[in-house]
Amino acid sequence: MPEIFRRAIAEHPFHIKPDEHILRIVEEDVSSTCKWVEISIKNQSSTFCFTIDLKDIFEGSIRKDSVFPFFNANPQSSIERLRSKNDAILICQIEQQVYIFLIELKSKNKDKYLHQIRSSKIFVNFIIDRLNLLDNASQISKEDITFKGILFCNNKGTTRKRKKAEFDENKDKLLPIAEASCHVTYPLEYFLP
C-alpha cells in the first residue's frame, strides 16, 4: 500500500524522503519549541511518508491554501479549522497489515491536535476511497488498516525508557493516540505492535 500512495501523491512538495533511512519531520513555525522528530525506518522496507501541512500561497492579495485551494483561506470569512492538517502521515506495511500514523508536533495549544489528526484521517480515507474507485487500482481493504495518532511534544518525561509507545484508546474514540518527546530519533518499531 505505501507504493500506491507514493505513486498517487505528487512528489514535490509533499513527499518526506528518508536521509540514510531517517525520516525527519520538522515543524516550520518559528515560534515552536518542538522543532523536529526523527523516525528510523532502517528495518522497514515498505514505508511512505508525506505531509499536507504546507503554508498558504498568495496570488496578489488573494490567499489560497496550498493543498486545498477550493477552501476559503481568507481569515476574515473562512470557516475556522476547516483547513486543519497535521504535520506528517507515515504509512508502513508489514505483510497484509497497514499502519497509518498521523503525526503532529506541538509545543503549545495541545488541545487542537486531535482535530488536526482527525481531519487527516478523513483525508487519508478520501485518498483510499478514490483509489478504490478506479478499476485498475489494487483494492485497498480498510479492514487491513490500523490508524494511530502520535503527538510529539515537549515532554520531559521518561518516554524513551519504555520499549514500546503506549497508545491510549481513551484519548480519542476514533483512533489510539500516543505521546512522545520531540527532538529524539525513534525506531519505527517503537510505534509498531
CA–CA separation, 14 vs 154, rounded Å? Answer: 26
Say what the pLDDT of residue 171 is: 72
Q: Using the predicted structure, report yes or no on whether residue 109 has a pLDDT greater than 70.
A: no
Say what the pLDDT of residue 118 is: 93
- Residue 81 in grid coordinates: 479549522
Inside any domain, residue 153: yes
CA–CA separation, 136 vs 101, rounded Å? Answer: 26
Hey, what amino acid is at 148?
K
Quote the DSSP letter at residue 138: P
Closest to 38 (Cα-Cα) out of 19, 12, 63, 14: 19
pLDDT, tens digit (0-9, with 9 covering 90-100), for 110-162: 778 899 999 999 999 999 999 988 866 667 888 999 999 999 998 755 455 57
Say what the pLDDT of residue 107 is: 82
Inside any domain, residue 79: no
Q: Using the predicted structure, report yes or no on whether residue 39 has a pLDDT greater than 90.
A: yes
Phi and psi angles of residue 83, each rounded to the nearest 5 degrees, phi first: -95, 20
Inside any domain, residue 152: yes
Number of folded domains in the chain? 1
Inside any domain, residue 44: yes
36/59: higher pLDDT:
36
Q: Using the predicted structure, report yes or no on whether residue 98 has a pLDDT greater than 70.
A: yes
Question: Which structural domain range is residue 36 located in?
Answer: 2-54+84-190
CA–CA separation, 149 vs 88, rounded Å? Answer: 10
Q: Dump strand ranges (E) for 34-173.
A: 36-40, 47-50, 57-59, 62-64, 88-94, 97-106, 145-153
Average pLDDT over residues 86-95: 95
Inside any domain, residue 73: no
Q: Dump strand ranges (E) for 108-165.
A: 145-153
Inside any domain, residue 133: yes
Inside any domain, residue 128: yes
